[in-house]
Amino acid sequence: MATVNSTTSTNPADVFSKVGGAAKKTETSTASELEGRFLTLLMSQIKNQDPLNPLDNAQVTSQLAQLNTVTGIEKLNATLAQLLDGYSETQGMQATQVIGKNVMVAGNSLPLAGGKAFGGISLEGNADKVSVTIKDAAGKVVQTQELGEHPAGTFYFAWDGKDAAGVALAEGDYKFSVKATANGEKVGATTGQVGTVSAVVRDKSGFLLDLGSMGQFAFKDVQQIL
């Protein structure tokens, strides 16, 4: 009776070690490197397989499919990284175009400079009465303005920096709140602070617009460019 001699071990770890892929190696490999090692390992296993216990075709096919998935994900990640880099540069170019312009962002700061201050108000509905209350840094009410009737939407108002008695106040940071009504019923209203973009700053999360004393804001936070 013919006999079958013992063959070289088909243990994956043993074969992998013989083809130069020792398990102790810990460096991160790319998908292409893993693919090359896998194919080398696979060929070695095929050459040295036990005829009485051949490789499982389904298992090999499954491993190849998983390898293709890893390779595809790596390529997709590389493509996404390129797209994000391109988007970041485009956003940076757009951000530099607003330097020196006034923009509105969410908030209620009312910085007074040169005897002038500007704020924004957004109404959820038509209002027959809109009033603004201005406070100093200590929270003291210094001025109340009646802005009259306004339709739904966003509009802006100016403050001359004077208190209720007509006395000019010191430059600095003030706060304001808004109240709007229609036929005695409250109308939803939100405040918006208006500032001048003095610079564009880049950080790990993207580009920020420097609005001076008001702080820095992401380009996506700009509600309107005036």
* Rounded distance between C-alpha atoms, residue 123 and residue 113, angstroms: 26
pLDDT at position 80 is 64
Q: Is 100 helix (H, G, I), strand (E, B) or coil?
A: coil
Domain ranges of the chain: 12-95, 102-225
Beta strands in 83-135 (DSSP E): 102-106, 109-112, 117-123, 127-135
Angle between helices 57-96 and 31-47 (to 10 degrees): 170
Following CA atoms 161, 165, 166, 170 in sequence, which dihedral angle do they give, to the nearest 10 degrees? Answer: -40
Does the domain made of 102-225 have the CATH classification 3.20.20.150? no
pLDDT at position 181 is 97
CB-based contact 67:35 (threshold 8 Å): yes
Question: Could you tell me which residues come within 8 angstroms of residue 211 by beta carbon, excluding any fewer than 6 positions away?
Answer: 103, 105, 195, 196, 197, 198, 217
List average pLDDT for each run of 10 residues in the chain, which is 226 residues long: 44 46 49 67 65 62 68 67 59 74 94 94 97 96 96 96 95 96 96 92 81 88 88
* pLDDT tens per residue across span 33-58: 666 676 676 667 666 665 656 656 66
pLDDT at position 170 is 95
* Rounded distance between C-alpha atoms, residue 189 and residue 59, angstroms: 64
Question: Could you tell me which residues come within 8 angstroms of residue 163 by beta carbon, excluding any fewer than 6 positions away?
Answer: 142, 143, 169
- Rg (C-alpha) for the chain, rounded Å, is 34
Nearest in space to 117 (alpha carbons), one of 195, 210, 211, 199: 195
pLDDT at position 103 is 93
* pLDDT tens per residue across span 189-200: 999 999 999 988
